[in-house]
Structure 1
């Protein structure tokens, strides 16, 4: 029997975090390009990682933000709303957002989502 306040040893899992956000910025002839790679699941529990990462870039006023979705396994309405908010903020400063290479599952979600039609989606097939 476990006494109150006594807990079994913690078991550490070798699994990956729910979402990894990797940013790489580079200068172009027209301004700053930022490539973002999302790996994992973008949902209520992880959306702040993306919005916080973008907030760090806000002052740099990137001309283009490309979000690589090839390793994103899941996205919910909060994640879609984050994409839409990033898009609107970029438009306000003359930038644009591209969602690139969505995984098959995410591509299906994007196809039925009501995102702003000005958000470019670069898919696997062309």
Structure 2
């Protein structure tokens, strides 16, 4: 990772770190309709920085995520795949893991238990 950009809005901080195969995005705090914009911008930038790249969203620091945040992640995944890339989730915090389970979206996303596995890509599980 050779650069780092950070954005803060209210209760959410988002940093993005380019790496050889894509971008690592780290949201920290509470993701809801009032705080989603920085993550939306970071995911859009990741997708447009290198079409076909892999975006890893490190969810370890997400303390809360409502339906707005979930929809944002689902839409970003769809957009990444349309561009020949992918978006995966790593290290979901307990609240995020529960939300994925309750909504059934853990079947939609590739979810990795460790950041190393997510960065390694398919087969790295």
Taking structure 2 as the reference length, the TM-score comes to 0.76
Q: Name the CA distance, whole Å, in 1 between partners of 2:59 and 2:72.
A: 14
Q: How many angstroms does 1:56 deviate by?
A: 2.2
**Counterpart for residue 118 of structure 2:** none
**Structure 2: unaligned runs, 5 residues or longer:** 1-8, 115-124
Identify, as 1 or 2, the structure richer in helix: 2
Displaced runs of 4+ in structure 1, greater than 4 A? Answer: none
Q: Name the CA distance, whole Å, in 1 between partners of 2:98 and 2:81.
A: 25
Native 8 Å contact 1:17 1:40 kept in 2: no
Q: Are 1:25 and 2:18 counterparts?
A: yes
Q: Name the CA distance, whole Å, in 2 between partners of 1:66 and 1:51.
A: 14
Q: Are 1:84 and 2:74 counterparts?
A: yes
Q: Are 1:117 and 2:107 counterparts?
A: yes
Cα deviation per residue 1:20-42 (whole Å; 9 max; x = unaligned)? 101001224xxxx1101111000
* CA-atom RMSD in angstroms: 2.0
Q: 1:119 to 1:83 in 2, by over 3 A?
A: same
Taking structure 1 as the reference length, the TM-score comes to 0.75
Larger Rg: 1
Cα deviation per residue 1:84-108 (whole Å; 9 max; x = unaligned)? 0000001101111111101111111
Cα deviation per residue 1:65-85 (whole Å; 9 max; x = unaligned)? 110111110000000000000
**Counterpart for residue 38 of structure 1:** 27
